[in-house]
Structure 1
Amino acid sequence: MLKHKKLRDRILIGYSLPILCLVGLGGIVHVNTSNAFQRQAEEKIAQTTIIEVDQMVLGVARMVRNVRGYLLFPEDKSYIQSYDQGLELFNQSYGKLDQQAQSLERQQQIADLAKKVNRNETIAQKIFELIDSGQLVEAKALMKSLRMDDIDEARQQILQVEQAALQRLEQESESAQKLVVVSVFLGVIISVVFNLIIGLWLSRQVESQIAEIVDVAEKISVGDLTVKVKTDISDRNEIGQLLLAFQRMIRGLSGFVGQVQQSGIQVTASITKLTAFGKQLEATVTEQVASTREVVATAKQIAVTSEDLVQTMEVVAAKSQTTAASASVSQVNLTAMANSMQQLMRSTTSITSRLEVIREKAQSINGVVKTITKVADQTNLLSLNAAIEAEKAGEQGLGFAVVAREIRRLADQTAVATLDIEQTVKEMQASVSTGVMEMDKFNQEVKQGAEEVREISQQMGQIIEQVTTLTPQFLIVTQGMETQAQGAQQISDVMVQLSDVSTQTADSLQEINRAIAQLGEVAQGLHQEIARFQVSDRPISH
């Protein structure tokens, strides 16, 4: 049933059983793993319950111990604080257990333990009240009812239930582990057995068909193209397709070898003709190469002479352009110098005007100084008269005499200062007058220099105009020489290319002649190789 199917389909069908086995094994492992995780969570809850119950009992024991301590030492309030800490520890553990409790039995046991602890806590509060009120005898009597036996009994019940749950979970884990190990072991063995069986089955089917293909390939390798290939049209697998391909290859090779044998004869005749023609063409090209080389040498000499003339004209044109550029720069500099001198003339005129203003202001200052001098003289006379009047007044005029003396002294100082100012103003007037004369003289010299610069600038303009007129003529000559040099260089380049092409053509002809000779040898070798193939005279049937 599977004989005519493709190898891919056979492999998929054959290996589907081991894969299904592995899938089933994976399902078993998955289920057991999920159960293991669940059991692990339950174990964690049971362990946490045991720890928290111990913490609760520890808190209750701490509470009882602190009640007894406070009864012995009523003045020490630290026992009450320690009692509160024990109560807080109990409440924390109780809160955690109440949240984790899932089964009704566990919730009832925890509630029973909490009820007994609350009873002790109520008794402890009454004992604290009796101690605080000084009723120690009543407190000691009530202390006897504060017991830990019932709390330990409730603790033992919870621990027994949780330890039994832990043992049950441990047994279930061991059973599940054994089941997984057995399942994996059996699954691996079954998969290996299936794989071996399927591998042997597939290899035997393929081996029988491969042997036939190898026999056909060996006959083809020795040149026997008359071999027949047994094929089945209904066989559509890879081996059948390969056999059909071998059959088509044999048919194609038979036709190809026959055509090559016929073509070999034609190639041999054509090679003989090509050899004779190539030798004749090689002799003609050799003569052409010699003539071309002589023309190339003459063209190169013309190109070198033209390039020398072009370089000479370029140097002359460059010199003329440099001269014109230098003259232009000089003219620009002279124009700038003339502008600067005009600016300098305007500046000197402005300075002269300002010096005149300064001289006039100095004269005004001199008039003011004279007025101040007159006022100082009058002040001096007034102070003298005031002193005389003070002398006449006797002791009553002593203060006025002192004021008059100070006024006279101030008037004397003012007179001296005005003399100094007047002298300074006169010296300044003299300096300003001298500066005005010098600036006028300098202004005349600047005007004369500006005129000379203007004349030089005009002369430079004429020089620039003449040089500028000469430069285009040099450029025309240079362009003509460059055109001639380019033409000569192009001729030289073309001749060089022609010479190279001729040389390459000669070399190519030599290579072609050698290739033709080699082609003849190859044709002979090919004919000998093709002769060893055995070709059937009749077409191959399917």
Structure 2
Amino acid sequence: MNRLLKIGGLRLKLVILVILVSTIPLSIMGGVTFHTMKGDLATNVDAALVDQLWWLLWGLWVVAFLIALAIGWFAANMLVRPLERLASGLEAIASGQADLGHRVEVTTDDEIGRTSTAFNAVMERLSGLITQVADAADGIAASARQLEGRSNELSRETNEQRSDVEQVVTAMNQMSATVQEVANNTQSTAESAGQATRAAEGGRNVVQATQGSINALASEIRKASTVIDELKGDSDNIGSILEVIEEIAEKTNLLALNAAIEAARAGEAGRGFAVVADEVRHLAQRTNDSTGEIREIIQRLQGAAGKAVQAMEVSQQQAEASVSKAGEAEETLGYIHDSVTTIDDMTRQVASATEQQSQVAEEINRNIHHINDIAVRSADGAREMQEAVEALEGLAERLQAEVAGFRQQPA
């Protein structure tokens, strides 16, 4: 309403201006002419003729006024209507609800016509720009949705990987504790084997020193028999420990295989973890092979211990039967001494290998903890990426909302 009043006021002002400009010269000329004629005619004609001339001039002035009014109205329409169309288009753009397909009609070739032509060119350029912006906003929104889906998938996979790594960390901690326990038990076994060696050496010296004393010999033989029984019991315990080690090796092998499969699923990001998992699997295989060798040694040890028990029983019977068997008992004790020494050496080798395995397990445990830290950082990065994608999607929606206010020109 205010805009119509403003445009109507402008049209009225233009009409009045044109009328004034058109009638002022005519009024001046008519007044001068009338006074001149009145002065001239006052001496020659009568008053009736003067009045007729007066009314004639008034009639001419009215006709001139009407003509000026028509010219003013026509000029106002020629000037105001194009300006009104331009104002309407500009106000629509300013309000954000413009029809970008709308064009102002160009009816003249003057300044207003050139202004209308420039306005149409601006609208054409703005239409193309808004179309490009709308397409870009749609592309950004689509990319944001795609990135959001990929980010969610990556976050889920990272969380799964982190959970798997935590399970591996727990298993490695348990394995490290078990390996350490095996090392301690092996050390105890080595100490027991050393004690058995010293006991056999003592029995041998006693037999050499007291061949004439059957009771002393029998007593020492009984002591040696007791030590061998303990050795056999320790051998049985080692067999149980080896079963535990074999079970751990099998579980470690399966865990390494599962870790390698998960690393293969992770692609490039899991390549380093796949190498570690493969090393763990090889370590488990070597542990399994070493356990088999140790089992064979323990079986031979148990067989030797059983033979030693039998030999000690026979030696005891022979010692009680005759002093002449003391020499044979001495030889038997020498054999036992050598066997126990061999067992002691083997047990120490097992202890050394177990200690090395414990160190390797600790190194693997540190590497897996490092992988776990990387997985945590990857999860944090995936979460930050998801937040950035959500912000990008919000910006795309705002841009689409801003562009939606402009109606595009139909193709």
Does TM-score exceed 0.5, indicating one fold?
no
Short-chain TM bin = 0.3 to 0.5
Normalised to the residue count of structure 1, the TM-score between the two structures is 0.32
Pick 1 or 2: higher relative contact order, CA cutoff 8 A, min separation 6. 2
Normalised to the residue count of structure 2, the TM-score between the two structures is 0.40
